[in-house]
């Protein structure tokens, strides 16, 4: 278990050293490969505890899907059957969608319902 930021940084450096040798990645029987796996697990556990990844907000998720699908606010408004100003409110966090619109956002933009509902 990693006990300090100093230990964490030292292990990150060691992982970088190990990764620089292809043998440590390609040969599962090498000592470097075993060490790399152990250190990677330790670092992952530390990061989960000290640097947790927060789920995206609804606005972040909508913006990402808009970009992926090549939609602007007007086009998204048409897809969801709401006004462009309402989309702007969702994107700026000024308003939450109704349950009906939340369902449409989840279905039509393929955004997990838990993100859309904020749970």
The reply to whether 10 and 42 lie within a common domain is yes
Range of the domain at 85: 58-117
The structure tokens listed for 102 are 């939340």
The whole-angstrom separation of Cα 6 and Cα 69 is: 43
Measured in whole angstroms, how far is the alpha carbon of residue 15 from the centre of its chain?
Answer: 23
The reply to whether 9 and 32 lie within a common domain is yes
Widest Cα–Cα separation across the chain: 61
Whether the Cβ atoms of residue 11 and residue 2 lie closer than 8 Å to each other: yes
Whether the Cβ atoms of residue 12 and residue 2 lie closer than 8 Å to each other: no
The reply to whether 64 and 45 lie within a common domain is no
- Rounded to two decimals, what is the model's pTM? 0.63
pLDDT digits (tens, 9 = 90+) for 21-32: 999 999 999 999
The reply to whether 43 and 66 lie within a common domain is no
pLDDT digits (tens, 9 = 90+) for 63-119: 999 999 999 999 999 999 999 999 999 999 899 999 999 999 999 999 999 888 877
The reply to whether 40 and 72 lie within a common domain is no
CATH number for 95: 1.10.260.40
The reply to whether 66 and 19 lie within a common domain is no
Count of structural domains within the chain: 2
């Amino acid at each position: 278990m990693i006990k300090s930021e100093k230990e964490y940084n030292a292990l990150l450096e060691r992982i970088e050293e190990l990764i620089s040798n292809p043998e440590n990645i390609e040969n599962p029987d090498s000592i470097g490969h075993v060490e790399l796996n152990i250190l990677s697990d330790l670092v992952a556990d530390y990061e989960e505890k000290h640097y947790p990844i927060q789920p995206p907000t609804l606005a972040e998720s909508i913006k990402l899907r808009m970009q992926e699908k090549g939609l602007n606010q007007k086009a998204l408004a048409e897809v969801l059957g709401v006004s462009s100003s309402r989309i702007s409110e969702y994107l700026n966090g000024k308003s939450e969608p109704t349950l009906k619109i939340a369902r449409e956002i989840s279905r039509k933009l393929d955004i997990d319902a838990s993100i859309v509902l904020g749970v």
